[in-house]
Each structure stands twice: as C-alpha cells, then as structure tokens.
Structure 1
Amino acid sequence: MNETLRPSTLGEILDRTVTLYRSRFLVFFGLAAIPAGMMMGFSGGMVLLLASTGFLSGPAATPKPETFALVFLGMMALGLIALPLLIASNALCGAALCQAASSVVLGGGQIAIASSLKSVWKRGWQYIGLFVLQAVIIFGVPSTLWTAAVMVAAVGAAIAGTAGGGGAATGVLTVVLVLLTMMALAVYVIWIMIQIGLAFPIAVIEKAGPIDALKRAWKLCRGTRWRMLALFAMVLALSWIASLLVTVPLMLAIYLIPGLNSPQNAQLAGTISLMGMYAMSFVSNALTMPVIAIALVLFYYDQRVRKEAYDIEWLMQQAGMIAAPSPQPQLAPWLPSTRSISADGAPPSPAPEALTPPPQVPEPQAKTEQQPEPEPHEPIAGASA
C-alpha cells in the first residue's frame, strides 16, 4: 500500500486515513481502547468512591465531615496509581499506532495488536519521555502562565479595592485581561501542537530520541501547518459527534424513564450520568486516537516526499539500487521481557547450541630430541676369547 508515497492534497490524506482505518479497524481500535479503557476504569473507581461516601446523594443528604478526609485520601491514591499507568499506556499505544500505520502504508503485510506493541516495547522509555515532554510544552507552559496571570489579576484587583477607587472599572479590566490571556494561550496551544505534531511518527519510524524528534518535527512540519490545523479540527468534530451519540440517548433515558429523575433516585441518576460521561469519553478517545495517529503518519511521509524525495528513495530501495539504512542498535528492554518465563513458570531452557561443548582442539605435542644410537664396537684384532 505504498501508493501514497507521492505528494498528496489534504483531501487525499484524509481519504487515505479513512481507508486505512477501515482496513484494519479492529487492530487500530484495540490499540486505542487500552488507554481509553484504563481511563474509564479509574474514572469508574472514582465514581464508586464518591457514591459510597454519599457525595452523589444530592443536596438533601449532606456527607459527614469525616468523610471528606476519606474521599481526599482515596482520590489521591487513585491518582497516584492512575497517572503513571495512563502516561505509559498512552505513550506506548500511541507509538504502536504509528508503527502499525507505517507498516500498512509501506505495504508491510498483516499487523496485530501484540506485534505492534512488541515492536515498540524496547524503546518504551523514549516514547514515555517524548509524551511527557510534549505534554509539558503544550499544556504545562500555558497552565503555568495562566495561573500566574490569574494571581497577578487577583492581587491587582485586591490592591485596587483596598485603595477604594475605581473598583468596578478595575474588575472589568481584570476580566478583560483574563479573557485576552485565555485567547493568547489557546492560540499558543494550537500553534505549538502544529509545530511538534509530527514528533511521535518521527520517533517511531526513524528511531529518534525525544529531543531529536521534536527538533526534526519543527523542521519537517514547515509547509503543512494549515493542513494539520484542518486535521485537528476534524478530530475535534469527530470527538464531538461521538460524544453526542453517547450522551443524547443517555440523557433521554434518564428523563423519560418514570421515576428515574425523581429526588428519591437522585443518587442513581447522578451515578448513571457520570458513568455515561466516562463511557462517552471512552468511545470518543478509542475512535479518534487512531485517526490522528494514521493521519500524522501520512503527513510525515507526505512531507518527506515533498522535501526529501523519499518516494524515489523508497522505490530505489525496493529495486535494490541502494542499500537500506543500517538498523539502529537494539536497546535493552525498559521492563523485563514477557518471554523470559515460560507458561509453566519455569525459566526458558538454553538454546541447543549452548548445550553443545565447543570442540576440543588437540594441542600439538612437543618434539623430543632423538638421542643418537651408539655405534657398534669393532672387534680388536688378535684378541683371544
């Protein structure tokens, strides 16, 4: 399926994304369902925690004061468990999606969930580091700036209120500044996502480190910013449609089933609503994550074709006219391999050649010097017996 290795328009890239997604739907959806399922599981655990302590019972039932500490500790424990697992699953499954999409684009044959995850397992720390670095650049920086701006605005409003003059005008000015800051940070998020959006395909396909992948993505994305912006807009629209398909029937069921929206069933209705929201998040994430991964891989190859003539290089490699790039050295697995222990719990037996002792080479024997044989004595003439 390497007919896409040519300069393509935005419509062709989007059409090819849908075609590839449909051709391997179960594999792509299964890979994306892993982090989405983890997110849904931890969210469900949080809902059960809130429901068991009475926080979803409505305003009529006020929780006891001692339950607040229990809820806080429970949410902290869930967060400490969920955050590392969510980061690792999103990074590894995102890399596996890029690897699977690249294999399909280049005509690599059949793909599977297990083989795609296995292919990215040894570089797990690299992909986790890239995922965290992208999150810090895209969301961490604007969040920090937003917090600083809100604190400055609050301090300025407090000082103006203490001075006793122009309180209303100061409040309006503070709101305007906060809104402008929000708009500026939103523009920054969109702009930086476009600049480093190709980092994950580069890290997976070219086996680049996190910093090198970000630098190359910044350079390679030139000329495709508007098309990538259209891609992100399409993904947001798809996520919104998927969420509507889940929430609308759920809300109709809550309001149309007799007695479900009554005050007596407030806890049950609140629990169902929250679980429906998490189910909506699961469906939208599992459906849209493969779309963005496949489209980014296609954008990556399209940019390499436009800037580096990769289509000609690929055809020459297939024809044997030039040597393929030398493989990168294999890294040690970041976690123990799942093949190190057999199914019955015993360690794997050594290879047959490891059991065969090396052939013994006979040592050359040292040459001994031959002693000269004694010469026979001649009889003496005239000697009598």
Structure 2
Amino acid sequence: MNDSPGWASPGSAPSDGHDDNASVPRPSEPADGSGAGSKWSKEQPPVGQWSPSTAPGPGHVPPSAPVPGWGGPGRQGGWGQPPAAKPGVIPLRPLGVGEILDGAVSTLRAHWRTILGVTITVSVITQFCDILVQRYLVPAPPQANPDASPAEALDDAVESLQTSLIGLGPTLLIALVGTLVTTALLTIVVSRSVLGRPVTLGEAWAEARPRLPQLLGLTLLLPMISAGIMAVGLIPGALIGGAAGAALIGLGGIAAVCVVFWLMIRFSLASPALMLERQGVVAAMRRSAKLVQGAWWRVFGVLALTLLLTLLVSMIIAIPFTFAAFAAEGEGLSGLMSGKAPEFGRTFLIISGIGAVIASSITYPIQSGVTVLLYVDQRIRREALDLELARSAGLPGYGPASPGHDPTRS
C-alpha cells in the first residue's frame, strides 16, 4: 500500500493498471515467496494442450471424491471455495445485492443504540425546526373559491405556488443539515461494523466532525451542478419562444434530465470516499466516478432498489400517522374527504412529525449503509480491499496489520 489515506491505496490497480497488492501474500502463499506461485516455469505448454497423466500418482484423488475441507457443507461462493472471512456484517469478498441490503440491516441491528441515537436525535431536531417554520413562518395557503373567475382562479393558483415555494426553502435547508450530519455519522458507524468493531456516538462524532465542511461543500455542489445543467437545457428554448421554443425546451429538458441522472449515479459514492479516504470535494467526485466506471448500471440498480424499499417503508409508517393527524385536527377525515383544503395546525404537525421521525430512524441507516457498503464492494472488486480489511480485523493468515493502522481512519 502507498501512503495515501483511506482503507487502501485510493486509485490503485486494477483500475490504475497496476496492482499494489501484488506484493502482499495471499492467505495461501508463504510470505517469503517460496511457494508454488514463485516457481512457475518460464516454458509452458501451449494453451489448450494440457493432457492428464495416464497413471494416477501417489495420493491421487478421483474426481468424484470430495476433497476434505473444500466444497463441503457451509461453503460460500463458487465450486471449491472456502467460506469468506466475515469479521463484521459482510463477508470480505465481492457482494451481491442481497448481501449489501442485509449488511445495512445487520448494521442497524448490531449498533442500534448508536444508530438510533444519531437518527432519532437528528430527526427530532429537524422535525421540531420544521414544525416551527411551518407553523409560524410559512403563510397559510389561500382557500379555493368555487365561484371564482378563471383569472381569479389563476391568481389563487399562483399565490398558492408562491406560498409552497416559500415554505419549501426552509424545509429543504433543515433537511440538508439533518442529512449532512446523519450521513457523516452513519458512514463512520457502518465502516466500523465492516470490521466488527464497536463504536459509540461520541467516537463517531469525533471522527466525522473534521470532515463536515468538506461534506457540506459536496452536498451543495452536486445540486448546483444539476441546476446548471438544467439551465443549459431549458434556457435556449425559453429565449426562442413560440412553438419552436416549446419543442426545444422539451428536448433540452429531457436531455438535461438524462445527463443529471447519469452524473448523480456516477458521483453517488463520493460521500463515503470523502469521509473514509479523507479526500477533498473534487477528489472525492473523481474517486466516485472511477469506482462507478464500468458498473454504472449495477450501482444504479442497487440504489434504485434501496430507494424503492425505503419509500415503501416510509409510506407504511407515515400513512397511519397522517390519517391520525387528520382525524385529530379540525373537521377530521370528513373534511379531507370533502376536498376542503386542510389547515395544518399544531396537532396535525406534531402527529405527522412523530411518524416522520420514526420513518427517518429506520430509512436513514439503511440508505447510508447501502451507499457505504456499495463503496466497499466496488473497492473489493477493483482494489482487493478485502485483504486490507482482513489484516486490519486481525484475521489469521493475512499478515499483521501496520502498527496503529485503522483502515477507517487516515
């Protein structure tokens, strides 16, 4: 390994064209290089021309006979592979989609005190601030007038949209701060759970706090890039106007959305790279692009499945609280069924906020866990990070770890 920060040498082979782990003995190779791997003959038969021996030698095992310790019950992976080391919540080998999701849930179960301490605290604070904003800062939406003229109805719709946008700004800002802190702390917790090491809330905060400014910069930069791309796609059509401008807006908008979508998946691993490798903002984005390269569809599939599952969980939790909030507020469910615009009073906001806190406490750890484990999986596939993790976990057969080295720290 080189002296770059992180779990393993960032940018190392095979993605760089060389393998820094080539000099590191695998568990089946002697450390002094005296094994069979160092004694291959320079003159090998042509490919495809190997022939079996006509007579079995001493110790020959028939092909049908089971080899002790290989391919038996409890094995993992392909034929003849021993079980992968598993010091923490995941086995140290390339992961499947189910194993990534299971690792995120296992992290929540193994470190539930720390994780719930993070998510509940952040969710309660953000929901309390959001309730104050919605109650005292955001003006109430105008009531629809069924006898209004088309011009008056249009004015009411514009006013309602303005009110919604005014309330959306503080809400997004509060959500941004909450997501920032939660992502930083949960990234540290998940990285420790990979090694099977406990971590307290104080330890996670002490390690994540120095990286918060860089994580804030990354969190702000990605939406700014998206907004810039959307502006480039929409402004030319808006300037032209007319039917041609409308068509150009449609085509430019579709193209801009596709580019933004592609970039967001490409940079989806920038947050764990920034936190765990002590990268800068731009360096973390480059690192994410490098890890996602050649695996864009796989990363997209895992993240899309995670988003779908978390949305379902959030809906299952939020719907009962929403109905309870409507039932406890004003005219109750009868007012909702009549189509009358509800007045979001204090009771409604408190009850719905409780549901949001519970949903966030479950979905935030799963989303963060999947992102971090997907980052770990890509590094295992590209850079043999499993060897570094096994050494750091103190597993036998992988060589001693560097004195004082912790792959979760720089």
- With structure 2 as the length reference, what TM-score do the two structures score? 0.60
Q: Which residue of 2 aligns with 1:208?
A: 279
What are the equivalent positions in structure 2 for 1:70-219 lying under 5 Å apart?
A: 86-109=175-198, 111-137=199-225, 139-145=226-232, 149=234, 151-158=235-242, 170=243, 174-219=245-290
- Supply the distance in 2 between the matched residues of 1:272 and 1:153 (Cα, whole angstroms): 46
Partner in structure 2 of residue 372 of structure 1: none
What secondary structure, in the 3-state scheme, does the structure 1 residue paired with 2:400 have? coil
TM-aligned CA distance change 1:238 to 1:78, over 3 Å: closer
CA distance 1:20–1:251, shift in 2 (3 Å) = closer
Is 1:44 matched with 2:128? no
Could you report, residue by residue, the CA deviation over 1:53-110 in whole angstroms, capped at 9, with x for unpaired residues?
65466649x9xxxxxxxxx99x979957x7766544432321111000000111112x
Q: Which residue of the other structure, out of 292, 316, 338, is the alignment partner of 1:221?
A: 292
CA contact (8 A) 1:98 1:204 kept: yes
Secondary structure class of the residue paired with 2:184: helix
CA distance in 2, matches of 1:303, 1:76: 41
- What does 1:1-385 align with in structure 2 at a 5 Å threshold? 1-2=87-88, 3-49=90-136, 55=141, 59=145, 86-109=175-198, 111-137=199-225, 139-145=226-232, 149=234, 151-158=235-242, 170=243, 174-246=245-317, 248-249=319-320, 252=323, 254=326, 257=332, 260-261=335-336, 268=343, 282-317=357-392, 318=394, 321=400, 323=402
Q: Which amino acid aligns with 1:24?
A: H
- The structure-2 alpha-carbon separation of the partners of 1:266 and 1:128, relative to structure 1 and needing over 3 Å to count, comes to closer
Distance in 2 of aligned mates of 1:14 and 1:176: 42
Q: State which drifts further: 310-319 or 10-19.
A: 310-319
Instruction: Give the Å deviation of 1:187.
Output: 2.2
User: Over residues 185-212 of structure 1, what are the superposed CA-to-partner deviations in whole Å (9 max), with x where a residue is unaligned?
Assistant: 3322331122111111112211222222
Q: Which amino acid aligns with 1:95?
A: A
- Provide the secondary structure at the position in 1 that maps to 2:241: helix
Whether the 8 Å contact between 2:95 and 2:377 is mirrored in structure 1 is yes
CA deviation string 1:131-181 (max 9, x = no partner):
2223323x33334335xx1x44344335xxxxxxxxxxx2xx555544433
User: Cα 1:212–1:261, aligned 2, differ >3 Å: closer, same or farther?
Assistant: closer
The structure-2 alpha-carbon separation of the partners of 1:308 and 1:258, relative to structure 1 and needing over 3 Å to count, comes to closer
Question: C-alpha deviations, 1:346-368, integer Å up to 9, x for none?
Answer: xxxxxxxxxxxxxxxxxxxxxxx
**Per residue, is there more helix in 1 or in 2?**
1
Task: Give distance in 2, aligned partners of 1:324 and 1:23.
Answer: 27
Contact 2:306-2:370 within 8 A present in 1 as well: no
Equivalents in 2 of 1:312, 1:267: separation in Å? 58
**Structure 2 residues without counterparts, runs of 5 or longer:** 1-86, 149-161
Q: Secondary structure at the match of 1:4?
A: coil
- Cα 1:108/1:155, change in 2 over 3 Å: same
SS at match of 1:6: coil
Letter in 2 for 1:32: T
**For the Cα contact (< 8 Å) 1:239–1:285, is it kept in 2?**
no
Deviates more, 1:185-194 or 1:90-99: 185-194
TM-score (norm 1): 0.63
Q: Which runs of no fewer than 5 residues in structure 1 stay unpaired?
A: 63-71, 159-169, 332-385
Tell me the CA shift for residue 7 of structure 1.
1.3
User: What SS does the aligned partner of 1:182 have?
Assistant: helix
Alpha-carbon distance between aligned partners in 2 of 1:130 and 1:276, rounded to the nearest angstrom: 33
CA RMSD in angstroms comes to 4.4
Aligned with 1:90: secondary structure?
A: helix
Residue 326 of structure 1 and its aligned partner are, at CA, apart by 6.3
Separation in structure 2 between the aligned mates of residue 56 and residue 42 of structure 1, nearest angstrom: 23
